[in-house]
Structure 1
């Protein structure tokens, strides 16, 4: 059902109220912004609670997509949504959904051939970028090590273009100095564990991937990169060759290059 809302204090808008605050504190819901992500949210397993948007955006969306009868649609003005959300929501269409439990590590590993493991990646936009790149380059799943932020934060969902809602992911248990022990589960499953590092002592990425049927690519945070604890738990340290005067790339960019190189390595099979 579609409803026109005229009061910014209407409790039906509470799901999208103060979005910057809820994003910072990771409170409760999944928020999808823009028609593409709303569509992917509706198609995902996450139970959609409502859709909120400007009249023109809702009209256009409904002319192209079906919305389940049990999902209410709330029509508001741009000024109202700006006041409710806490900033100018210029995309004009968003949806909220209930969270679900993440997959287990075993579920993500099962049947996978290529995985990416993040350690200490706290920037939500980098997380979203890695998920988007992984989905686009046929990575089977994502595993999160210590210090990695929640991929269901609003900005991560937005930057991933909603792919975080469909790509399997799970979090390893453990803290800064011991989560790496859980990587043995990947080794036991036949994965070659490859650490991405700018170190000159590391081998060329293509060499590290050559001949591997299953690969798990480890990436670390901007700046510090992977911890020595994590790299010691892997089979090989690999680098992306860099031009003189440069030493590293953004972590999402590095991951994308690694995913592409992984695809190239599979041509040998």
Structure 2
């Protein structure tokens, strides 16, 4: 049985994650922090990955549909973890008071964050043979983060490292665009200030070669056979516009590019990641 709580207003402090806290505030609320997962599919993937729910919120007119979808996803994947979690049921008038209500794609869940391992510890959890990882340097658009994770899950990337000045993969828009694959692909953060020195150095010390996606005089195509012969490869992607920092490029073992028609020199970082992962991932 679901623990349904029908709302008449949004005043209860327990509803703050849905009503009064922005995403940055959520990340520091109720240690170890919260995030919002949206839609039954995304919520189920978070539960399957071991994230604990604090509560759910469902619009009353979609209650039967959303709970049926969530129950179906959980049954198909043999997922547990919902238990007696409070499920707040709001009528349409209350839902219209929620931030971004017009973009809602079903049920919402406030879920507890988990701690992220240090880069050294994270790398030891990845496959020892032919690992492929992606490094996201200062990628600030949540939609791009989500799309990159979705491609990483589909195209054989074993893990993702996100610099701390990038958009949060657990932001609602990120996980929604990713279709919940941010809970499927292993990932961690690295401090943006230490990434330039400590992070790249550590990757090299652990046997990784780095491939920066950038245009330089010595850039090679992503289908260069040398890249697939590399045992441990880290593919580094940068922000829209400025791209990768010069110091990142200089320290990389390769700079790589996607062959394109004349007159076009770049793709959106999410599109570029999909092509690079297709060519270089462990499919």
TM over 0.5: yes
Q: TM-score range by the shorter chain?
A: 0.7 to 0.9
Match status 1:255 vs 2:273: yes
C-alpha contact (below 8 Å) 2:23/2:171 kept by paired residues: yes
- Are residues 1:49 and 2:54 paired? yes
1:180–1:233: 8 Å Cα contact kept in structure 2?
no
1:141 alignment partner in structure 2: 159
Q: Does residue 195 in structure 1 map to residue 212 in structure 2?
A: yes
Contact 1:30 1:99 (8 Å CA) reproduced: yes
Match of 1:14 among 8, 13, 16: 16
Tell me: CA distance 1:145–1:232, structure 2 relative to 1, closer, same or farther (3 Å): farther
- Give the 3-state SS of the residue equivalent to 1:170 in structure 2: strand
- Over the aligned positions, Cα root-mean-square deviation in angstroms equals 2.2
Q: Tell me the TM-score normalized by structure 2.
A: 0.84
Q: Pick one of 179, 183, 190 that aligns with 2:196.
A: 179
Q: What's the TM-score, normalizing by structure 1?
A: 0.88
In the TM superposition, what are the counterparts of 1:91-102 in structure 2 within 5 Å? Answer: 91-102=105-116
Contact 1:108–1:142, Cα closer than 8 Å, also in 2: no
Distance (Å, rounded) in 1 between the aligned partners of 2:175 and 2:249 = 28
Does residue 1:88 correspond to 2:102, yes or no? yes
Q: Deviations over 1:19-43 (max 9, x none)?
A: xx61365643211111211111222
Distance apart, 1:60 and its partner CA: 2.4
Query: Does the 8 Å CA contact 1:78/1:90 hold for their aligned counterparts?
Result: no
Deviation at 1:154, TM superposition (A): 1.8
What number of residue pairs does the alignment pair up? 262
Asked if structure 1 preserves the Cα contact closer than 8 Å seen for 2:196 and 2:247, the reply is no
Report the Cα offset of residue 227 of structure 1. Answer: 0.9
Does residue 76 (structure 1) correspond to residue 78 (structure 2)? The answer is: no
> Which residue does the alignment assign to 1:243?
261
Q: Secondary structure at the match of 1:83?
A: coil
Structure 1 unaligned regions, length at least 5 = none
1:81 touches 1:89 (CA, 8 Å); kept in 2? Answer: no
Q: Please, which of 100, 108, 114 is the counterpart of residue 122 of structure 2?
A: 108
Separation in 1, partners of 2:68, 2:107: 14
Q: Which moved more, 1:61-70 or 1:109-118?
A: 61-70
Q: Cα–Cα, structure 1 residues 89 and 173, in superposed 2: closer, same or farther, change >3 Å?
A: closer
- Structure 1 counterpart of 2:23: 23
